[in-house]
Amino acid sequence: MIVDPHHTDTAIARRALPLLDLTDLGNACSDQAIETLCGKARASRVAAICVWPQHIHRCADLLAGSPVRIATVINFPAGGTDIERAVDDTAEALDDGAHEIDLVMPYRTFLAGDAGIAAGMIEAVREITGRAILKVILESGAMPDTGSVTEASRLAIAAGADFLKTSTGKSTVSATPEAAAAMLAAIRDSGRTVGFKVSGGLRTVADAALYLAIADRIMGPGWVEPTTFRIGASSLHDALTASLGGQA
């Protein structure tokens, strides 16, 4: 049997690791956990880390001089409707040193038929982010069908999202291949430069390979890179580095 070298675990791991948003959004995240996270991020040269807003300052110190970016979460995980608070929290996070904002869209009100609040929040946060990256979390696992995922994707893109992100990782259903395909198709059809982040439940090299293959199929070879595709995960990092023999 001939093995395609582009589809071995090692090749997939080498491709996926620089796309990783190494994440710790645990309720008991400690200072020691943040130090460990930033140490892994520096060593592996992942795209970014994603942490609670209160840890941004510490991460900025630990990652000084590193190309690893700092992402944080806003309106997370509930996806509430308080636009003013989302704007204020975003402004504080940017002042503290965040480079990327992962904003939970008010998905419940969107599903209830009120798209205006969702669009208004994204637009308001977009207005103050400046050159920072805005990733909009759709919480796709809460959507009843792929049609709703497509509609939410189009709304977020029109409102100014730089990335569409599948999930908070806190819901019963996180990322699915079907939702990922719908979101990527919406990005492709929009004609805009918008990235995609898959998050929630990815733990193995095979998981990474699945979503990379979906992106390659829909967006075409060569589209996937850290500026357009991210993988939000915590435990996946260890699986990827293990496939590389422990070397980033």
Catalytic residues: 102, 165, 197
pTM of the predicted model as reported, rounded to 2 decimal places: 0.95
Q: What is the pLDDT along the chain (248 residues), one digit of tens a residue?
A: 333 544 699 999 999 999 999 999 999 899 999 999 999 999 999 999 999 999 999 999 999 999 999 999 999 999 999 999 999 999 999 999 999 999 999 999 999 999 999 999 999 999 999 999 999 999 999 999 999 999 999 999 999 999 999 999 999 999 999 999 999 999 999 999 999 999 999 999 999 999 999 999 999 999 999 999 999 998 899 999 999 986 65
In 3D space, the residue among 8, 30, 160 whose CA is nearest the CA of residue 90 turns out to be: 160
Burial (CB count <10 Å: 0-12, 13-18, 19+), residue 114: middle
CB < 8 Å & 24+ apart, contacts of 26-31:
29/55, 31/58
CA 35 to chain centre: 21
CA distances from 70 to 11, 109, 112, 218 (A): 26, 29, 33, 28
CATH numbers and ranges of domains, the chain: 5-243 (3.20.20.70)
CA distances from 164 to 8, 26, 56, 183, 186 (A): 28, 22, 22, 7, 10
The pair of structure tokens assigned to 219 is 């967006």
CA distances from 173 to 70, 73, 143 (A): 26, 19, 10
The answer for residues whose C-beta is within 8 angstroms of residue 242's C-beta and 6 or more apart is none
- 3-state class of 186 per DSSP? helix
Instruction: Provide φ and ψ at 108, rounded to 5°.
Output: -65, -45
